[in-house]
Amino acid sequence: MKKNEKLNKWLWKWHFLAGLITLPFILILSITGGIYLFKTDYEAKKQQHITEVSVQGEPIGFQEQWEIANQNAVKKPNSMIVPTKNNQATQFVSGRFSGKSDLYINPYTGKVSGEVITKKTDMYKVRKLHGELLMGSFGTKIVELIASWMVVLIVTGLYIFWPARKWNLSGFFIPRWKHGKRTFFRDLHAISGFWISGLLILVLAGGFPWTDVFGENFKYVQKVTNTGFPKTWHGIGLQSQPTGNAITLDEMVAKAVALELPGQTTIHFPKGPKGVFSISNQNPSDLESQKKIHYDQYSGQEMMTVAWADVGILMRARMWVMAFHQGEFGKWNWWLMLGVALVLTIMSISALVSYVLRKRKGSWGIPKVPVAFRVGYGIAIVVVILGLVFPLFGASILLLVLIEYLRKLKRKKVHPVPAS
């Protein structure tokens, strides 16, 4: 592959500028992302005194526990996690996402063992720092902008790193440590970036659905193409026929246990007198095994089963990359994500050290581009496509073009071209 040297210098300039601006944020994202991977183990130990109880004779019924939960929860519970162990407190869930809270009932004593409010947990703060820099919606947009530019950094970095003339296989694996500190740290940055570039694109794909602008656009595309969750997944349009008394939660738990669904099984409570009971399982290690079954709350009869194959292709892809992003596919995925977080941190720090060693006093050290270079149609088309896919990136490019135009205009006024 023969490289265009002028194009290489132009891409190097933009890679340099983008990296310099985004570096502090990338470090925050990589470090907080790595910390968040420990969420499950960290919270399991911290909340053990709430989630685990001593086995004491026969447990009370789930219906009675539900009534206790209704009386004590901050918000009325909308679902219950089916327990799988005798020493497990019964978990009643209220709300969703950041408004979620979990009330735990001791099934032997009927007492509340504790309540976990998501917003008050340590890992919630880590997640907020990772996803929005603790700045709410504005912070989310900054993270989205940084993630968009990271895609550009990866693409330009691959082109810049690719050898222009002769190949040296060791140059793809080992930094040159005999050529001085600057060369060593530059190689460390380039080589580590080369080897995780594909993974990093996949990780970024798993983060974009949480963003404001791209995320909302993606949801809109799902809606117009009918490739999201079907209405039946949420039981929309299904109604129970009120005849006598509703079945008990104990009966629903028996049905859920009989299904032997893999992963964590949840029973969703009816919304109103015509609502339905629903049973679903969350099993990130095998998304295809997930399903949702709806039941008439009075007769207990099965009304509809929705399998994962019934979910639209864009939603299934979205859930896959999001689960991958969080390391939920098993230990291999968890270690892989931790590795990406560590390598990204090392790569960012090595880039900073290399820049400090390269930078001359009184200068930003911005790479120079030949005056004769002009951006071709191919590059322009790529930039436009990226700007459409990532609107915040597109907006930032327009702003940079405007700034560059105003700078040129100012230079012309200060140094006017003499008349011939």
Got the DSSP string for 250-273? Answer: HHHHHHHHHHT-SSEEEEEPPSST
How far apart CA 108 and CA 129 sit, in angstroms, is 39
Q: What would the pLDDT profile of 130-143 be if each residue is shown by its tens digit?
A: 999 999 999 999 99
**Residue 408 scores a pLDDT above 90:** no
Q: 83: closest CA among 68, 69, 104, 110?
A: 104
Q: What would the pLDDT profile of 86-122 be if each residue is shown by its tens digit?
A: 999 999 999 998 899 999 999 999 999 999 999 999 9
Q: How far apart are the first and last CA of the chain?
A: 45
The residues, ordered by sequence, that sit 6+ positions from 419 with a Cβ below 8 Å of its Cβ are none
Region 375-386: mean pLDDT is 89
Torsion sign (Cα): 357, 361, 365, 370: negative
How far apart CA 207 and CA 211 sit, in angstroms, is 7
DSSP reduced 3-state for 81: strand
Q: Which residue has the higher pLDDT, 413 or 80?
A: 80
Please report, to the nearest 10 degrees, the dihedral formed by the alpha carbons of residues 111, 114, 117, 120 taken in order: 150
In the prediction, which pLDDT does 227 show? Answer: 96
Q: What is the pTM of this model?
A: 0.89
In the prediction, which pLDDT does 267 show? Answer: 98
**Residue 353 scores a pLDDT above 80:** yes
How far apart CA 124 and CA 132 sit, in angstroms, is 12
Q: How confident is the model at residue 146 (pLDDT cuts 50, 70, 90)?
A: very high
In the prediction, which pLDDT does 174 show? Answer: 82
In the prediction, which pLDDT does 30 show? Answer: 96
CA distances from 330 to 37, 73, 205, 286, 324 (A): 12, 33, 19, 10, 9
**Residue 411 scores a pLDDT above 80:** no
Residue 63, both tokens: 């219906």
In the prediction, which pLDDT does 240 show? Answer: 95
How far apart CA 272 and CA 58 sit, in angstroms, is 31
Region 175-190: mean pLDDT is 86
Residue with tokens 């130990």: 45
Q: What is the DSSP letter of 74?
A: S
Q: Which residue has the higher pLDDT, 166 or 41?
A: 41
Q: What is the DSSP letter of 165?
A: S
How far apart CA 302 and CA 252 sit, in angstroms, is 11
**Residue 168 scores a pLDDT above 70:** no
On average, the pLDDT of the chain sits at 91
Q: What would the pLDDT profile of 183-194 be if each residue is shown by its tens digit?
A: 899 889 999 999
What is the chain's alpha carbon radius of gyration, rounded to the nearest angstrom?
A: 27
Weakest mean pLDDT among 30-44, 81-95, 313-327, 357-371: 357-371
Weakest mean pLDDT among 11-20, 27-36, 38-47, 287-296: 11-20
Q: What is the DSSP letter of 340?
A: H
Weakest mean pLDDT among 167-181, 198-212, 316-330: 167-181
CB 152 within 8 A of CB 386: yes
Which amino acid is residue 395, in one-letter code?
A
Per-position DSSP letters for 283-333, written without gaps between them: -GGGGGG-EEEEEETTT--EEEEEEGGGS-HHHHHHHHHHHHHTT-S-HHH
In the prediction, which pLDDT does 212 show? Answer: 94
